[in-house]
Structure 1
Amino acid sequence: LYHEMIESGVISLKDDTSKVSLVYGQMNEPPGARARVALSGLTVAEYFRDQEGQDVLLFIDNIFRFTQAGSEVSALLGRIPSAVGYQPTLATDMGTMQERITTTKKGSITSVQAIYVPADDLTDPAPATTFAHLD
């Protein structure tokens, strides 16, 4: 993706005209690091909205990874899982993150999120919790 963005001119390595920030969390990284990727990306978006007065388009691929990493961290901490093995704080974690995607007087954040639906089950707690925050 990074190289394709350079080739297409979206990312410029020669000057400061780039309008893109990329935050990655690969599946081979520890769950604690992966759990923070969505929050880190959102913090960058908030900076551009609040400090630079920009309207920001935030792509999240895939929001299920945020939930999955949170579940793994919860298990490592010895928390008793709730429905279908997810962390007991799933709704709070998701709500805290999603509610930060908003418009202020200085700018806005609009988010496009890919959502993995395990076994195509729309009632699974991970996608169901996410859907509750999307328009």
Structure 2
Amino acid sequence: MPSKIPKDSKMIREGKLTGRIVQIIGPVVDVEFPVGNLPEIFDALEIKTPSGRLVLEVQQHLGDNQVRTISLGSTDGLKRNMQVIATGEPITVPVGTETLGRIFNVIGEPIDGKGEVHAKKFYPIHRPSPPLTEQETKQEIFETGIKVIDLIAPFIKGGKIGVFGGAGVGKTVIIQ
């Protein structure tokens, strides 16, 4: 098995651990790194593109110093031999009260137009679930303000809700 780079590697801290794209098949991108310097599974990789940055997540070590990644954005415009930078850490997302009512993309960036999130904590997207003893079991009713829904089919805060109906009946009004 190829050796992996430590998280506190000087190459990562200085942003010097770079690889190159060797193959692109849809959202799957294979990246080659220098001998003995493979990023770990679930680590984030970045590619600088003309439209900003593209984040990849390592899914598999292929051998021959290559990793297979999944692109978390469009791979349009990517070419073989483009430079890829290893971040040395997994994708993290903000957590806490600062995130309530906000909308994020898969890499934790706000997409609701309300500016940056100033969260105190960030958690990796791949982490174990909290033990049941730490989970809150209190159920609280979410008041929609629509008497028929609140009386006949009340929504539980934090639960999953399916809203079905024809066009123009007010589905969007309920979730706003």
Query: Do these two structures clear the TM 0.5 threshold for a shared fold by scoring above it?
Result: no
TM tier, smaller: under 0.3
Of Structure 1 and Structure 2, the greater helix share is in 1
Alignment TM-score, normalising by the size of structure 2: 0.21
Q: RCO higher in 1 or 2 (8 Å CA, sep ≥ 6)?
A: 1
TM-score, normalised to structure 1, is 0.25
Larger-Rg structure: 2
Hey, which of these two has a bigger chunk of strand by percent? 2
